[in-house]
Every structure is written in structure tokens, then in C-alpha cells.
A and B are shown apart, each in its own frame.
Chain A
Amino acid sequence: MRPRKERETPLEHVAAAEHHTHDHGHEEHLGFWRKYIFSVDHKVIGLQYGVTALLFLFFGFSLMMIMRWQLAHPGEPIAAVFFIAPMALIGVVVFFISGIKPSLSMLIGLLFLGMAGLVYYLTSGDERFPGGIMLPEFYNQLGAMHGTIMIFLGVVPLGVGAFGNFVVPLQIGAPDMAFPKLNMVSYWSYFVGGLTMLVSFFVPGGAANSGWTSYAPLSVIATTGQTMWIIGMVFLITSSLLGSVNFIVTIVQLRAKGLTFMRLPFFVWAQLVTSFLLLLAFPPLEAAAVLQLMDRVAGTSFFLPSGLVVSGQALQNAGGGSPILWQHLFWFLAHPEVYVLILPALGIVGEIIANNTRKPLWGYKSLVYSVIFLGFMSFIVWAHHMFLTGMGTTISTFFQTTTMIISIPSVIILTALIISLYGASIRFTVPMLFALAFLPMFGIGGLTGLPLGLAPPDIHLHDTYYVIGHFHYVVAPGTLFALFAGIYFWFPKIVGRTMNTRLGKIHFWGSFVAINFVFMPMFIQGLAGVSRRLYDGGQQYAHAQGVLYLNNVMSIAAWVLGAFQVVFIVNFFWSLKRGEKADTNPWHATTLDWQTPTPPPHGNFLHEPVVYRGPYEYSVPGKKSDYTPQNEPETSGQKA
């Protein structure tokens, strides 16, 4: 085996460690394809998810940048070079950052160049930018695909597929997931779904353009890209369903000896509830996707009402369908989906706060009961997205009530995390900075959701920029910040080096300031009545003229936000090879994931771990060290 200093990449690290097959029965030498591409090891799969998701996040961000150009300069020819050149430059830098040797960095560098090429294609051509000016139809494609890509190809695969896969088996003391081959199938299903979404940009008529919500009847009569969206979603849902079965069985069945449910790290609880949401909420969307596919391809009228007239021509379908039916089936998934977006983030923030306050989390029991209650309630609030569909007052009251009730566990969780800071010895590490910023950002996101959950104010705010501001606050400076925190936090466990702290702090502060300038103005525009999904950003509205200048503010802020992500990208790839070396537990953490070698070998633990205590035994009075790992035996023979 090559000596440690010559090893290139985290994937290689992890896969190479598979050579350490101590207790493992089969001492095979796995070839390249079985080791890196079709691996069944949860750590390799987790990294595959992570790299793929980060690339999709970056691509989704680029789509948003193009949209923001249009919103700031509607009707003007696009200066595409401001998007393409930086992307190409990043590609070149990343390509060469590890030297001239085949490596992950080279592959990613090439993919960045590929993305730059894709953006060049998307910002040119008469079907999208005749004379350099964006067509409204193309703006709609950007809107629909930005949302779809960020949610389904970016945040969830990163939060669940990457962090969940890599960390959960380690934190519960398991050798792998319960069904490793199924895990591999999940990743490749995600990959195929993502590829389908990307390819849809190239079909005649372009990608899906009916919003990420694909409301009928517009989506039924939309161009071919919508059919590809449906097919892509079927692959993504399959990936998700198989993954959620895997996670639940793993967490329930493969916990180490002594690891009772109430000794689980909060991160694992969050992933468990998330998996139940994915398991039971996705199938109705799969059913709806099948029905919409039938409408588009087989001429059925599940969602097409009678007497529909399109461009002056009456549709020749049987009719009798219900557009509202689509909304019910869609939102039945999409509401629990937003909790899928936030729960892994809450879990990550919990771990990092406990670790960097050197104290147990405050209210562990409240956190656990709240997250379970939250998961349950998330299934019966969905029609708060449908208050304006002609709902009667009784059913409207029902959904307003459940929606108000669901805010209670969210507040309990946020409060517990904040109280955890009280009296703490806070270490302002880079992960902690992101975790701390998460708290008020999630708070703003959550609070701005309250008027949306009550029908009367929602009449004014529905489908305005206020909504966009609300959900972006929760997902962008909310979840995404938590995910960044997680990357900085677990990087040393995967790579054996820490990311550079100064660059990390620059990334943090720049992103934190810029991101607020991107999303705070949206509340103002929304309250002034600017609708969402307008290709000209409200220019045609007489009542919006006073807030149009904010489009320029937000677009510049978005560009600045993008620039600060370059700092992260460079830091990430630089640190892979040249970061400061770290030992196996550089953060002095208590949970089992930090009690393994770095990187963890195939099978994770050399001997089956036994757990003797809870997950956050920091600063226990009378103990020499300010932290006690979960699996460290008591000197006086404590029972497990």
C-alpha cells in the first residue's frame, strides 16, 4: 500500500482503508470500479453523494445568478462572461490544485469547466437568448429547475445522502448500513435522476418550466422537458425510498451494545425522523407523477378539467379531471419535504453546539420528543399551501390550527439549542460560527412563516416575494449554513487534515453578510405586492416601482455571495492535500464517530464498540478530561 503522505483524496483514503480487513471475512483486493464507483461501503457512498450534491448545488446557484441578472437588468443583453469566466477559472484552479496527477480534484475541475460550458450554452441561442435578451419562457425554466435542483439534487442528497450515510453508522457503532448493496443502488438511482434533469435542458422546448411545483393544468400541456422532470423525479423518489428503509433499519437494528435510544446523538434522531418522512410522504408524489405522466403521454384527464381552452383552441381530451387533486398529492409530499430539508441541519447544529460549548445539549428529552412530534404533525399541515384554492372556512381552520401547533416543537428545538449556549465555554471554531449563525437565521425563517400559516395574512402574501424570502431564510442561511458547518466539522475525520481556519472565517463572514442582503429585501418586495415567478421582477407593476431598486441590491449581493463561495471551494481542495494534519479526534468530541481511526477502515470499528453513557458527557464534574467518549469504559466497572 502506498505510504500515507502520497494518498490523494478522501475517496481514495476511505477506499484504500478497505485493505485493512481485520475481522472482515473476505480479504479480496477490490478493483478500481468496485472500490470507487460501485462501492457498497457507506463512507464511499456518502462521499459520492456529497461530491455530486455539492456540484448540483453550485449549478443550481449558477441558474439563480442568471435569473438575478435578468431581474436586475430586464430586457438588457446578458453579460454572460461574468458568469462563465469565474466558473471556468475555478475549474482550472481546482484542476491543477493537486498537481499533475490523476485525482478527485482533476475530475471536479473538469466538471466545473463542463458547468461553465453548460452555462455558456444556456445563456446563448435563439430559443433562450435571442439577441442576448432572455425570453420569458427561459426564465420560467430557470425558476423551475433552480428549485428542483437545489431541493432534490442538492440539499437533501447532501443532508441525508452524504452526512446521513457517512456519519450515522459511525455514530451508532455499526460496521455499515443494514443493506449496503441497496445503499449503492440508492446513490446510482439519484445519479440517473440528476442526469435526467440536466439533460432536460437540451430537449426541444428546454427543461421543465411550470415551477418546481408543476401545477396542473399548465404542467400537463408544457413542453417535453416536463416529461423528463417526471422521469427524473421517479428515479429520485426511488433513491429516497430505498435510502429511508436503509436508514430506519440501520438505526433501529444496528445500534451498538449499550446504545439505547435515549443515548443516541441528536443527529441520529433527526435522521431517523427524516427517514420516516421520506418513507411515507414521497409515495403520493410518485403516484401523482404517474398520473401526470399518463395525462401528458396517454391522453388521460386526471388533472385536466373539462372545457380547457389553450391559445384559443379547445383541448380534445375527455375532461373531468381535477387540478386541485395534483396540488393535494404534491403538497402531501412537499410539506414533509421541507422538514426533510431542516431536520438534518438541526441535527448537525446540535452536535456542533454541544462540542463547542463543552456542555451537554440543554433539554435532550425535549429535543427528542419535539422532533418526533414535529415529524408526525408535518403530515397534516400541507393544505396551508392551498389557502387560496377556494377552501371553506372549516377546513381552512383545521389546517391553520395544525400549522400553528407545528410551530411549537420547532420553537422548543430552537430554544433548547439557544439555551445550550448559556454558561458555556464557547470555542469559536469555523463550524461553530456557521452553527451559531444558523440559530437567528432559522429563527427569522420560522417567524416569517407564521403570517403565511394563517389564512387572512396569507391572502396578501401568497405567491409573493415574501414567501420566497421566508423559505430561503430557512434553507439558505439556515440549512445550507448548517451543512457548511458539517463539512468543516467532519472534514478532519474523512481526510485527516483540517480546512484552513482563516479562509473558513472569511467564507463565513462574507457569506453571512451577503446572504442577508440577498434575502431580506424579498420581504419588503413581497409586502409591497411583487409576485413571484415574474420574469421581469415586477417592472410592469405600477405598485412595485418603489421597491424595484431592491432587485439591483439583491443581484449584486448574490454575485458577492457567489464570490465568497470560491474561497470555500479553494480551501476545500487545497486542504485535501495540504491542510494541517489532524489526529483522530481533533475537536475532542464524545460521540462514536470520533472514536474511530482516520479515515475509518472498512467495517469502521476494529472491535465491536460498547456504549456506557449518553452522547454529550462534556465537562463532567470530577473528571480529569473535559470530555468522556461514549465508549470509554468507567474505571470503576460501570454497567453499559
Chain B
Amino acid sequence: MQIPYTVTPRSDTGLFNGKLGIWLFLASEVMLFGALFSSYVLLRTGAPTWPRGWEELNIPLATLNTAILITSSVTMVMSWASLMMKDFNKFRRYMGSTILLAFGFLVVKAFEYGHKFELGHFPSTSNFFAVYFTMTGLHGLHVIGGIVVNSYLLGPGSKMWNTEPERFTNRVEIAGLYWHFVDLVWIFLFPSLYLL
């Protein structure tokens, strides 16, 4: 017996296995980042003083990063749409763009961090910076994870397009769901840390 519903959806749930799996995983990620947001709120409301975001952080750079990440979300969903339209070359261009944009995000982040260190601002400096570095750091690790997965799908993993195109399309869809979630976290992280 082969494992059923890896590609074809099961009729009563309407889902294939990977789709359910990734949404469940994302639910757990909501709880992970939720716990960090909750900690941030608790620490900030309990603190006698807390700097406003613009006093300590580089808003223009972070706005650029927000635009980069949103764009990468579009290119990601377009890479899936390209596969749905059976255009493999378009898929490669869009997926490649997604990965490049993700690297761009990390490069900007590296500049930001570097500048903070130059000014003598480290996680140990204050709880403001502890929260800033920890939350953006964990988010950054998730970006790296996404780059790894997407690179695999662009590279060695893309061979599956020749043998099982539907299954490969589903894999790209699932990776896309993860990548959109990374974008979603940043959509909340950006104003919470930089704009308040």
C-alpha cells in the first residue's frame, strides 16, 4: 500500500497531506512568535521607561526591507502560479528572484546590526535592544530557513517537475505558504519594533 493523498486531495477534507501539515506547522509558529510578542508587551508595559522606535532604530532601512520582503512574497506566489500555467522557465525566474530578495533582506539586516554594534548597542545593553535583536534574529533564522528550502526547490528538487509535476507544484505551494508566513511575521514585527 502506498501512502494516499500525497497529491490528490482526500474527498471529505478537500486537502492533500502536505497542505494540512504546513498549516498545522504554521499554527505552531503563530504560538512561537505569539509568545515572543506577548513577552515584548509584558516587558514594555512593565518598564518605567522604554525608547520610541525612531529614537534608536533606522526606519528608512527597515521600510526598504519591508518592501523587499513583500515583493519576495509576490515573486513566491508567482513562481507557484507559473507552475500552475506549466511555465517552468517563468517559475525559475520568479523563484530565483525570491531567493535573491531574501538575501537582500539579510544584507540590509546585517548593515543594521553592524551599525548598532558600532554604536555600542548590544542585546545586553537594555531590554529594548534585547527584544529587538532576539525577535529580528529569530525572524532572520526563519528567513535563512526559507532560503534553504527555496534553493533546494530551485536546484536539485526541481528535477521532480519532469517526473511528477503536480507533486512538485504542491511542494512549491507549501514552501510558499511558509514564506508568506515569514512575511506576515515581519508585517507585525516592523511596526511593533520600529514605529511605536
Residues of A within 8 A of B (CB): 23-25, 174-176, 178-180, 241, 244-246, 248-249, 252-254, 279-284, 286-288, 290-291, 294, 298-302, 317-318, 320-322, 325, 328-329, 332, 603-605, 607-608
Contact = CB atoms under 8 A, between A and B. Distances in A.
Contact of B127 (A244, A279, A302, A605): A302
Contacts of A178: 3, 17, 21
A288 B42 CA distance: 13
Interface in B27-61: 27-29, 31-36, 38-39, 42-43, 46-47
Given A178-B17, A179-B17, A288-B39, 7 more contacts: A253-B15, A253-B17, A254-B17, A287-B35, A290-B138, A298-B130, A298-B133
A23 B4 CA distance: 13
B89 interface: no
A283 B33 CA distance: 8
B1 interface: yes
B47 A320 contact: yes
A555 to B, nearest CB: 40
A294 B1 CA distance: 48
Interface residues of B, number: 38
B127 A283 contact: no
A241 B24 CA distance: 10
A318 B43 CA distance: 13
A281 B5 CA distance: 28
Contacts of A249: 17, 20-21, 24
B125 interface: yes
A280 B43 contact: no
B162 interface: no
A116 B124 CA distance: 43
Nearest to A279: B28
B185 to A, nearest CB: 13
B123 A298 contact: yes
A254 B3 contact: yes
Contacts of B113: none
B88 interface: no
Contacts of B1: 23-24, 175, 603-605, 607-608
Interface of B: 1-5, 10, 13, 15, 17, 20-21, 24-25, 27-29, 31-36, 38-39, 42-43, 46-47, 122-127, 130, 133-134, 138
B3 A279 contact: no
A322 B138 CA distance: 21
B4 A254 contact: yes
A321 B39 CA distance: 10
A245 B21 contact: yes
B18 to A, nearest CB: 8
A523 B134 CA distance: 43
Nearest to B9: A253
Contacts of B33: 287
Contacts of A328: 42
Contact of B35 (A176, A245, A288, A300): A288
Q: Which 5 A-B pairs have the closest CB atoms?
A: A299-B124, A284-B35, A283-B32, A287-B35, A175-B1
A241 B28 contact: yes
B1 to A, nearest CB: 4
B2 A325 contact: no
Contacts of A180: 3
Contacts of B126: 318, 320
Contacts of B130: 294, 298, 300-302, 318
A60 to B, nearest CB: 27
Contacts of B3: 174-176, 178, 180, 254
B190 to A, nearest CB: 19
Given A298-B124, A300-B130, A325-B43, A284 B32 contact: yes
Contacts of B125: 318
Contacts of B15: 253
A284 B2 contact: no
A283 B123 contact: no
A280 B32 CA distance: 9
A253 B5 contact: yes
Nearest to B16: A253
A180 B2 CA distance: 12
Contacts of B5: 253-254
A118 B24 CA distance: 40
Nearest to A602: B1
25 contacts: A174-B3, A175-B2, A244-B28, A245-B25, A280-B27, A280-B28, A283-B34, A283-B35, A284-B31, A284-B34, A287-B36, A287-B39, A294-B123, A294-B130, A298-B130, A300-B124, A301-B127, A302-B130, A318-B126, A320-B43, A322-B42, A322-B43, A325-B39, A329-B35, A329-B39
